[in-house]
Amino acid sequence: MYETLGYAARTARAPLEPQRFERRALGGADLLLEIAYCGVCHSDIHQARDEWGGATFPMVPGHEIVGTVVATGAAVKRFRAGDRAGVGCMVDACRRCASCLRGLESYCEQHVSWTYNGTEQDQKTPTQGGYSTQIVVDERFALRIRADQPLERVAPLLCAGITTWSPLRHWKVGAGSRVAVAGLGGLGHMAVKLAASLGAEVTLLSTSAGKRADAARLGAHDFVLVTDDDAMARARGRFDLVLDTVSAHHPLARYLELLRLDGTLVLVGAPDKPLEVGAFSLIPRRRSVAGSLIGGIAETQEMLDWCADHGIGADVETIPVSAVNEAYERMLRSDVRYRFVLDVASLRR
């Protein structure tokens, strides 16, 4: 067992505080990863505050984990001590169901072991996330990170990157596609970068007028302020895909109007309350509303390699772990440019 220091929520109303806990002993297929950085995802807030229901405490959040392998089990083949590795939103899945066999582990039909606020495959042992000094993980759920990549800029790819990459690929975004990204936060800024790198024409739909210049810098070709009725009217019927990363309740009808014939709005943002869809938002142009959950392990590696090849990393503000509660408040005000990343070395000092 490995004595580990993390930051945990003890209840849905408590701020996160230091907490000691134990990681399991190294199994044959496991890595021990010394965590260097962990991104702060809005899902961490939803879960630490039990906004989706069913949360278990104490909870050490964090699923954008990068670091260095310091020990390996006897059967580990793909990693050696000293290698860099990443861990995303899952630490295991059944590995046998139709989804797992297709490499779609986040859609496992049996049981996904979420990196935190979940359980191991025994469906009993709680999992704890990356706001902590180290993690033990099966090598099949660890990702390779090239040595020349700045680690803190890679961390957010493990959730924000794959969660936006997967739907862009599934809906076959490429040259000639017109994509709108709703919300410029952690997911949104990766969506803009990735869609642009795939050759799409990208428009940002934002509620923050002050993000216009950043949207262009990140690769967006156009910017529409969602609260500007005239600009929204001009954008009507324009997009093949709206990738909706908005974390709070929002009027879907306004965004659906922007889709052209056969266009799809994909929800990756996960507000706690249901969103309303009117029949006449969909019927006239044969539009669809869909959802997408993270992405599989092979697809995550594909995205990491794509980012390394194309010089893509997250725009990050690196903070000590002790600043995480303040970071949550800033994210709730849409005041993040564009991902907070915890410097886990600050926990060791």
Q: Which is nearer to ligand NAP, 245 or 300 (CB)?
A: 245
Near Zn ion in 91-120, by CB under 5 A:
93-94, 97, 100, 108, 110
Distance of alpha carbon 128 from alpha carbon 115, whole angstroms? 6
With CB cut-offs between 5 and 8 Å by kind, which of ligand NAP, Zn ion, none does residue 97 bind?
Zn ion
Cβ atoms of residues 347 and 3 within 8 Å: no
Cβ atoms of residues 330 and 321 within 8 Å: no
Q: Which is nearer to Zn ion, 117 or 281 (CB)?
A: 117
Does residue number 270 form part of the binding site for ligand NAP (CB under 6 A)?
A: yes
Q: How far is the CB of 334 from ligand NAP (least distance, A)?
A: 4
Q: 30 forms bridges with which residues in the sheet?
A: 138
Q: Which is nearer to Zn ion, 105 or 201 (CB)?
A: 105
Which residue in 41, 108, 179, 308 binds ligand NAP (CB under 6 A)? Answer: 41
From 16-24, 242-250, 274-282, 313-321, span contacting ligand NAP (CB under 6 A): 242-250
With CB cut-offs between 5 and 8 Å by kind, which of ligand NAP, Zn ion, none does residue 46 bind?
ligand NAP
Distance of alpha carbon 248 from alpha carbon 254, whole angstroms? 15
Near Zn ion in 158-177, by CB under 5 A:
159
Q: What's the token pair of residue 172? A: 């076959």
Does residue number 43 form part of the binding site for Zn ion (CB under 5 A)?
A: yes
Bridge-based pairing of strands 201-206 and 30-39 is unpaired
Distance of alpha carbon 158 from alpha carbon 162, whole angstroms? 6
- Give ∠ CA 269-293-147 in degrees, rounded to 5: 100
Neighbours of 262 (CB within 10 A): 10
From 28-36, 70-78, 157-165, 313-321, span contacting ligand NAP (CB under 6 A): 157-165
Q: How far is the CB of 294 from ligand NAP (least distance, A)?
A: 4
Using the structure block, give the residue that is written with the tokens 């599989």.
296
Instruction: Please tell me what DSSP assigns to residue 64.
Output: -
- The residues near 266 (Cβ < 8 Å, ≥ 6 apart) are 167, 171, 241, 242, 243, 244, 290, 291, 292
Element (H, E) at 348: helix 345-348
- Estimate to the nearest angstrom the gap between the alpha carbon of 49 and the chain centroid: 18
Does residue number 87 form part of the binding site for ligand NAP (CB under 6 A)?
A: no
With CB cut-offs between 5 and 8 Å by kind, which of ligand NAP, Zn ion, none does residue 183 bind?
ligand NAP
Does residue number 99 form part of the binding site for ligand NAP (CB under 6 A)?
A: no
Q: CA nearest 319: which of 331, 307, 308?
A: 331
Q: Which is nearer to ligand NAP, 157 or 160 (CB)?
A: 160
Near ligand NAP in 199-218, by CB under 6 A:
206-208, 211
Distance of alpha carbon 261 from alpha carbon 54, whole angstroms? 39
Q: How far is the CB of 259 from ligand NAP (least distance, A)?
A: 17
Note the residues at the interface with Zn ion (CB under 5 A): 41, 43, 93-94, 97, 100, 108, 110, 159
Note the residues at the interface with ligand NAP (CB under 6 A): 41-43, 46, 159-160, 163, 183-188, 206-208, 211, 245-248, 250, 268-270, 292-294, 331, 334, 336
